């Protein structure tokens, strides 16, 4: 039985062509050898399998593939791709004899000094010195005494002009010999006014131009109300000492005078002006804060002011400049309107002058009967009062009689 099965398998394999008998030499039995290459029945029917590489498309109508995008990874070194950036102001080296603008005050003065530094960055003749103390004020003189420190700072930096912005930290009790004075009371206001006056006296005695900026609204409504009250004190005391007071409140407020965090910058574009804490300023806010005083600073530091006064007929107090007298007065004498000559030939009348009569008539003497000599009856009648227009006419302005 086993032989029959073996013979059957042999016949099938022989028909497929995968094995072939080999004649043995020397009368030995035939040896079956498997073919390694060749056709065979199965290969002739199904053909040779082709190996297909993965990832390739062997279809006849295959479309060409798009090249894969390459993304540049970030590296710590320099990148080949250049990204556009905003143009920044290039700081110009200051000249040795540049005018010194000394900015003093609290954290709001710090923002002001930064804005002024940007404003005058390209001006070699104006140098901004930031000498503020962020936590200072006029109440805690035990912490930082501005009336005592200001003369030292002016001498140290050889300041040519002083810019002051202080008071944002002053809503607190004032220490007095009899105890603390509560903020907001009448006694506190009296004591605070005395401190503002003392500081204004020190500023005035420095013999330098001084610009005092007001406080601006903040995120807290109660604090903004106190700041507004402080500004009234600063303005009064500063102007009494001849100090220029710049009110910048409305530049950072809405139409009702309240706090706003954003608004137009110096170019009129809507920008974020205040920081998220409702107190400090962004860079755009710092620049806008400086915008309100930069022109006044440049005007006060302008060495050519005497030329402006000379062009107006004055010397500006400089004896070396000769006094100039304008050829034509800037303002003519004031005369009543009824004395303006509107006769024919005058400057305000375009009527032609009649032949045989001069453009200007001399005043004639009155005769005994009150008429002027040389006048006709028509001329005299023209000067008589005109009769009242009848009632109801458009030129009758009399008030109707009551019924």
Residue 299 CB partners (closer than 8 Å, separation 6+)? 305
Q: How many CB atoms lie within 10 A of CB 141?
A: 18
Query: Which residues, 6+ apart, have CB-to-CB distance to 357 below 8 Å?
Result: none
If you average pLDDT over every residue of the chain, what do you get? 74
Please name the residue that has the structure tokens 């390739």. Answer: 56
pLDDT digits (tens, 9 = 90+) for 162-215: 999 999 999 999 998 889 999 989 999 999 999 999 999 999 999 999 999 999
Q: Is the pLDDT assigned to residue 124 strictly greater than 60?
A: yes
Q: Which pLDDT does position 377 carry in this prediction?
A: 57
Of the candidates 216, 230, 292, the one whose C-alpha atom is nearest the C-alpha of residue 258 is 216
User: Residue 293 in 3-state DSSP?
Assistant: helix
pLDDT-based confidence at 256, cuts 50/70/90?
very high
55 and 66 Cβ atoms separated by less than 8 Å? no
What is residue 142's predicted lDDT score, i.e. its pLDDT?
93
Strand duo 210-213 + 270-272: pairing? unpaired
Decide if pLDDT at 115 tops 80.
Answer: yes
Say which residue the tokens 């034509």 belong to: 328
Neighbouring residues of 272: CB distance < 8 A, sequence distance ≥ 6? 261, 262, 282, 284, 285
pLDDT tens, position by position, 362-393: 444 444 444 444 555 555 555 555 567 777 67
Residue 272 scores a pLDDT above 80: yes
Quick one: pLDDT band at residue 160, thresholds 50, 70, 90? very high
d(CA 282, CA 111): 8
Residue 260 scores a pLDDT above 70: yes
Which residues share a beta bridge with 34?
19
pLDDT value at residue 39: 52
Higher-pLDDT residue of 93, 81: 93
In the chain, the domains with their CATH numbers are 2-45 (no CATH), 99-303 (3.40.50.1110), 309-348 (no CATH)
Residue 140 has pLDDT above 60, yes or no: yes
Q: What is the pLDDT of residues 161-173, one digit of tens each?
A: 999 999 999 999 9
Q: What is the pLDDT of residue 92?
A: 81
Q: Average pLDDT, stretch 250-277?
A: 95
Does the pLDDT of residue 102 top 60, yes or no?
yes
- Name the pLDDT band for 9 (thresholds 50, 70, 90): low
- Mean pLDDT value across residues 114-136: 96
pLDDT value of position 386: 58
pLDDT at 390: 72
State if pTM tops 0.85: no
Q: Are 344 and 352 in contact (CB under 8 A)?
A: yes
Q: Which two tokens stand for residue 32?
A: 């079956």
- What's the pLDDT tens digit per position in 32-82? 444 444 555 555 545 555 554 454 444 444 444 454 454 444 444 444 344
What pLDDT shows up at residue 112?
97
Tokens read off for 195: 């401190």
Q: How far is CA 339 from CA 351, 353, 379, in A?
A: 18, 20, 20
pLDDT, position 24: 46
Average pLDDT over residues 14-27: 50
Per-residue pLDDT band for 327 (boundaries 50, 70, 90) equals very low
pLDDT at 129: 97
150, HSE (Cβ side, Cα atoms, 13 Å) = 27
Instruction: Provide mean pLDDT across the span 346-357.
Output: 48
């Amino acid at each position: 039985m086993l032989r029959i099965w073996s013979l059957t398998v042999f016949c099938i394999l022989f028909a497929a062509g995968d094995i072939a008998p080999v004649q043995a030499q020397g009368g030995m039995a035939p040896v079956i050898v498997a073919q390694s290459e060749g056709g065979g029945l199965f290969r002739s029917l199904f053909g040779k399998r082709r190996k297909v590489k993965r990832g390739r498309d062997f279809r006849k109508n295959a479309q060409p593939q798009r090249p894969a995008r390459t993304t540049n990874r970030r590296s710590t070194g320099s990148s080949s791709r250049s990204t556009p950036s905003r143009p920044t102001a290039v700081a110009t080296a200051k000249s040795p004899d540049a005018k010194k603008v000394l900015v003093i005050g609290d954290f709001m003065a710090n923002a002001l000094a930064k804005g002024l530094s940007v404003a005058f960055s390209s001006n070699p003749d104006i140098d901004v010195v930031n000498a503020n103390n962020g936590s200072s004020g006029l109440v805690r003189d035990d912490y930082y005494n501005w009336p005592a420190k200001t003369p030292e700072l002016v001498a140290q930096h050889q300041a040519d002009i002083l810019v002051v912005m202080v008071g944002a930290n002053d809503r607190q009790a004032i220490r007095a010999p009899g105890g603390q004075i509560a903020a907001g009371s009448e006694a506190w206001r009296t004591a605070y006014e005395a401190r503002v006056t003392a500081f204004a006296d020190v500023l005035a005695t420095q013999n330098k131009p001084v610009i005092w900026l007001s406080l601006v609204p903040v995120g807290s409504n109660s604090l903004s109300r106190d700041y507004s009250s402080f500004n009234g004190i600063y303005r009064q005391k500063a102007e009494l000492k001849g100090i220029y007071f710049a009110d910048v409140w409305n530049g950072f407020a809405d139409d009702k005078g309240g706090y706003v965090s954003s608004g137009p910058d110096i170019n009129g574009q809507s920008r974020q002006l205040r920081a998220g804490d409702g107190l400090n300023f962004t860079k755009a806010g710092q620049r806008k804060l400086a915008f309100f005083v930069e022109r006044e600073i440049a005007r006060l530091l302008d060495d050519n002011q005497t030329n402006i006064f000379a062009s107006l007929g004055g010397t500006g107090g400089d004896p070396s400049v000769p006094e100039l007298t304008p050829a034509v007065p800037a303002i003519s004498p004031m005369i009543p309107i009824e004395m303006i000559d509107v006769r024919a030939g005058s400057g305000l009348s375009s009527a032609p002058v009649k032949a045989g009569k001069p453009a200007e008539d001399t005043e004639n003497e009155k005769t005994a009967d009150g008429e002027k000599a040389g006048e006709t009856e028509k001329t005299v009648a023209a000067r008589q009062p005109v009769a009242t227009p009848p009632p109801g006419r458009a030129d009758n302005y009399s008030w109707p009689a009551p019924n």
